[in-house]
Amino acid sequence: MNFIDSHAHINDEAFDQDREQVIQRVFESGVYKFIEIACERHEWKPAIALCEKYAGKVAAALGIHPQVAQTYDEAARAALPQFLNNTQVAAVGEIGLDYAYLHACPKETQLKVFEEMLDLANQVQKPIVLHIRREEENYEPYDTTFAMLKHLWKPASSSKYPGVLHCFSARYEEAKQALDQGLLLGINGCFTYKKNEYIREAVKKAGADKLILETDCPYLSPQGKRGTRNDPSNIPLIAQWVADYLDMPIQQLAEITTQNALDLYNLK
């Protein structure tokens, strides 16, 4: 089977000791491509270097993660447009709002930088990778995001799917709003955790056609591997959970989600 990990952080320091061996294992695990997500300025260049090293197997998304929105300084603003035009860069991301992280980065800063990121995505006409996280049961960041998308975002016309709601972990209400805007849902280890039946129900209602698979490694290892370092070779394990829950053969889920990821990121 051919899987894609649509969201990985392989350049994270968690892989500093054995990055090449991990990547080797990934490509032997049934995962033939992954998308490296670079969240702030110092990660952009290394992400592109990783793509060049593993040409055709790794693509990048570059942006400013809402948790570090305050790092979007003049130097970063000056550098990002050119980085985004690099042919190795498939998307703008991850970008969005993280209201579980307001203690470290205030709402106003997150909103301002997210707006600037959408503006850049409009300019370069590349798909977006959204990170939206709420505090407890307050879904405000979702409502704010969907309103901002409606008013500020010009989806890339070249993409069948102009964006993804990464790490989907909300209700069907939020899934529905995402789908209405043409987004896919990124499914990772969160889907497998015992307490998250509401996520599984929402995903089932959305349907396999709207899904892509991701690890968000080194974080969020799937059930059975929790507490250990996650990496893209866990994608088949996540796929098995999803296929079982949706009651479909894993082969079929692999085909659908791989095609969706290729369509989203405009990859061959």
Binding site for Zn ion (CB under 5 A): 216
CB of 39 or CB of 149, closer to Zn ion: 39
Residue 153 backbone class (left: φ over 0; alpha: ψ -120 to 50; beta: rest): beta
* Residue 177: partners with Cβ closer than 8 Å, 6 or more residues away: 142, 146
**Residue of 166, 144, 147, 155 lying closest to 213 (CA atoms):** 166
Q: State in angstroms the smallest separation of the CB of 129 from Zn ion.
A: 8
Residue 211 neighbours by CB distance under 10 Å? 25
Q: State in angstroms the smallest separation of the CB of 7 from Zn ion.
A: 6
Q: What are phi and psi of 6, to 5 degrees?
A: -80, 0
Q: State in angstroms the smallest separation of the CB of 116 from Zn ion.
A: 19
**Residue of 155, 254, 187 lying closest to 7 (CA atoms):** 187
CB of 65 or CB of 210, closer to Zn ion: 65
**Three-state secondary-structure class, residue 115:** helix
Q: State in angstroms the smallest separation of the CB of 192 from Zn ion.
A: 17
Q: In whole angstroms, give the CA distance from residue 17 to residue 13.
A: 8
On whether the CB atoms of residues 105 and 69 are closer than 8 A, the answer is: yes
CB of 216 or CB of 231, closer to Zn ion: 216
Q: State in angstroms the smallest separation of the CB of 37 from Zn ion.
A: 5
CB of 62 or CB of 243, closer to Zn ion: 62
Q: State in angstroms the smallest separation of the CB of 248 from Zn ion.
A: 27
CB of 58 or CB of 243, closer to Zn ion: 58
Question: Which residue has its beta carbon closest to Zn ion?
Answer: 216
- Name the token pair of 186: 């990124």
CB of 43 or CB of 216, closer to Zn ion: 216
